[in-house]
A and B are shown apart, each in its own frame.
Chain A
């Protein structure tokens, strides 16, 4: 996409980074470079309102690619990883906290509401020991544990990175606070005549026209029939008497 060899130095001049990210409409960027002064350089940063918010520069001291691991246990791309942070470094001061926040933002993947339990198969472990940051990525293997929750085992998947922190350019607290501002959520419109009870059942109130009980169709019963005029009724009774006899005869034969 950007094939020209533009001189891009994120720490000296942010404009080119801001231009590229605005073209791609992305708020996160990672920039790799190599020079005599700063060999194997990696810059991770994020933007707010098309302007660089936080940036951290790392030197790569050791790198192991995915191909170097014998067990080729690749996860599907675009999967949401589990993030593990360890080491007291990330809680030492505000700057380190911000770097942790940046790394979370960078690696967290898509924001999802629901996630499949079987889809939790990628773990990124970021630990800081003795002034170095170790990024390790593992594949999760779920084993039987005898209970509902599985026993977790990890298998190295790669890539592995050993990083040392170089320069940082973090946003002022004022700007960061502005970036944290949350929009007042659009109030959900109140739905009329719908309520929920304690058991989680949905109840609705329906308005209907008044019912005409005169036309109500109840169960048909002979006894509830309107009486016919007298002379016709007599004839009917005799007929019905005959019928009953027949039925009783048939029953006795059986």
Chain B
């Protein structure tokens, strides 16, 4: 189509040269103008005649611009036209020139904790069909949601499990279990968002467990103590109750005015230490280091004695008893420290 159009245009243009009623759209050296229709851009790398340019610069610039614009328009008019509300619209092609972007390429969505775990374990998603056969109604129904197949929430009768308390409401139990699952899921969703934003991940607090441990109970008690409007300030304590491990310690500052004597003592003590410059000795650390050194020396000596097989033969062959001399073979086990101890 476009090819035909150009032929028609050129024929028409030729006609005009015969009778110059209109000026033509033909431009000389049109091939030299590079065009990027998407940007409405035409660039012409031709060298200018400097001498001519000095004489009448404005005219030359205008003529250059006119010719380039004409070439651009000639190619724009070849693009497919669409008429919308009396206006002729052309669809611009993709931009050929490479232009930098304003913002960096958006980052990939952060993986959730489960996705991370699944990747490590190599767990792949298996696609499940949306519709499932429902035995009761003998037809296909959605796997979940409204009017789902094998819907256990619609049960009008639930069998009481053997070990369960007979007075327990099984319907209520099911309902609360569902609520807890939903809450847990929501919590995990929020934690994933916090993780992806690298902000502090909130603690889970206490999740209900089947058989709470002693520690769990202590934690629960500490939280319950604090869960009042006044953050546990007026909560009654039991007689002889120990302070909880799970409540944080409060910072306490020395009074800014008052006991001058104790303050003086403290300052003097600091000065004293600094003036003596005696490094603090960690007795246990030093003792441990000495012991280890001794041990190492002893083990080295023992090894030297036992090494009768040539160095090359040590290893697998020696351990299999293929060596010429059935020397002492070190029986591995434990780490370096324990090995030494056993030998003693």
Contacts and interface: CB of A to CB of B under 8 A. Distances in A.
A46 B99 CA distance: 11
A106 to B, nearest CB: 11
Contacts, number: 186
A181 interface: yes
A238 interface: no
Interface stretch (A32-40, A117-125, A201-209): A117-125
B91 A114 contact: yes
Interface string B279-316: 00000000000000000000000000000000000000
Chain A CB within 10 Å, residue with most, of B13, B25, B72? B25
A146 B98 CA distance: 37
A86 B68 contact: yes
A180 B66 CA distance: 32
Contacts of A46: 100
Contacts of B13: 145-147
Given A138-B65, A145-B25, A183-B106, A86 B100 contact: no
Contacts of B12: 146-147
A127 B82 CA distance: 33
A84 B158 CA distance: 81
A104 interface: yes
Contact of B66 (A88, A105, A152): A152
Contact of B45 (A91, A144, A147): A91
A129 B65 contact: no
A143 B22 contact: yes
Interface in B29-82: 39-48, 50, 53, 57-58, 61-62, 64-66, 68-70, 72-74, 76-77, 81-82
B227 interface: no
What secondary structure prevails in chain B residues at the interface with A?
mixed
B9 interface: yes
A151 B101 contact: no
B69 A146 contact: no
B260 interface: no
B23 A125 contact: no
A218 interface: no
B5 interface: yes
Contacts of B147: none
A174 to B, nearest CB: 13
Contact of B42 (A85, A100, A149, A153): A85
Contacts of B81: 117
B9 A147 contact: yes
B41 A85 contact: yes
Contact of A178 (B68, B74, B77, B104): B104
B253 interface: no
Given A117-B77, A125-B65, A151 B25 contact: yes
Nearest to A135: B61
B62 A151 contact: no
Given A123-B69, A156-B62, A181-B101, A150 B25 contact: yes
A144 B23 CA distance: 8
A196 to B, nearest CB: 17
Contacts of B16: 145-146
Interface stretch (A5-13, A75-83, A222-230): A75-83
A176 B92 contact: no
B266 interface: no
A71 interface: no
B88 interface: yes
B128 interface: no
10 nearest interchain CB pairs? A179-B100, A125-B65, A85-B43, A27-B102, A147-B12, A149-B77, A86-B44, A82-B40, A84-B68, A114-B89
Interface of B: 5, 8-9, 12-13, 15-16, 21-25, 39-48, 50, 53, 57-58, 61-62, 64-66, 68-70, 72-74, 76-77, 81-82, 87-92, 97-106
24 contacts: A27-B103, A46-B100, A48-B100, A48-B103, A81-B40, A84-B69, A85-B43, A86-B44, A86-B48, A86-B65, A90-B43, A104-B99, A105-B99, A105-B100, A108-B41, A129-B57, A138-B65, A145-B22, A146-B16, A147-B25, A148-B9, A156-B58, A176-B100, A180-B99
Given A83-B41, A104-B99, A154-B65, 14 more contacts: A83-B39, A84-B42, A84-B64, A84-B68, A85-B43, A86-B68, A87-B47, A91-B45, A101-B98, A101-B100, A114-B82, A117-B81, A154-B69, A183-B106
Interface of A: 27, 46-49, 53, 80-88, 90-91, 100-101, 104-105, 108, 112-120, 123, 125, 127, 129-130, 134, 136, 138, 140, 143-154, 156, 176, 178-183
